[in-house]
Amino acid sequence: MTIRQESLQAVSAIRAQLEACIFGKTEEIQLLLTAVLAGGHVLIEDVPGTGKTQLVKAVAKTMDGQFRRIQCNPDLLPSDITGVSIFHPKEDRFIFRPGPIMTNIMLADEINRATTKTQSALLEAMEERHVTVDGETHPLPHPFMLIATQNPIDFEGTYMLPEAQLDRFMMKMTLGYPDEETEKRLIFSQHQGQLIDSVQSVTDMKEIGLIQSEVRQVHMDLVVGDYLVHIIRKTRDHSASMLGASPRASMALMTASKAHAFIQGRDYVMPDDVKYLAPYVLAHRVLIRPEARMNGMTPHALIQSVLEQVNVPIRLER
* Burial classification of residue 52, based on how many CB atoms lie within 10 Å of its CB (0-12 exposed, 13-18 middle, 19 or more buried): buried
C-alpha dihedral (200, 204, 210, 216), degrees to nearest 10: 50
CA distances from 122 to 116, 128, 139, 186 (A): 10, 10, 13, 35
pLDDT for 252 equals 97
C-alpha dihedral (209, 166, 164, 261), degrees to nearest 10: 40
Distance CA 217, CA 1 (A): 7
To the question of pTM greater than 0.95 for the whole model, the response is no
Identity (one letter) of the amino acid at 165? Q
Q: Which residue has the higher pLDDT, 111 or 49?
A: 111
Is the pLDDT at 192 greater than 70? The verdict is no
Distance CA 146, CA 261 (A): 22
CA distances from 317 to 222, 223, 250, 313 (A): 8, 8, 21, 11
Q: Of 15, 107, 14, nearest to 53 (Cα)? A: 107
Pairing, β 130-133 against β 136-139: antiparallel
pLDDT for 317 equals 52
Identity (one letter) of the amino acid at 8? L
Distance CA 140, CA 67 (A): 13
Give the mean pLDDT of 66-84.
Answer: 90
Q: Of 3, 20, 1, nearest to 202 (Cα)? A: 20
For the chain, the distance separating the N- and C-terminal CA atoms, rounded to the nearest angstrom, is 12
Coil, helix or strand at residue 52: helix
pLDDT for 156 equals 57
At residue 193 the predicted structure's pLDDT band, cuts being 50, 70 and 90, is low
Mean pLDDT of the chain: 89
pLDDT for 183 equals 83
Q: Residue 246: how many CB atoms within 10 A of its CB?
A: 18
Radius of gyration of the CA atoms of the chain, in A: 20
Distance CA 49, CA 102 (A): 27
pLDDT for 163 equals 83
Give the mean pLDDT of 244-273.
Answer: 95
* CA of residue 216 relative to chain centroid, distance: 17
Q: Is the peptide bond before 143 cis (omega within 30 degrees of 0)?
A: yes
Is the pLDDT at 174 greater than 60? The verdict is yes
Give the mean pLDDT of 234-256.
Answer: 94
pLDDT in tens, 200-214: 899 999 999 999 999
Distance CA 273, CA 285 (A): 19
Q: How many residues does the chain have?
A: 318
φ/ψ region of 258 (left if φ > 0, alpha if ψ in -120 to 50, else beta) reads: alpha
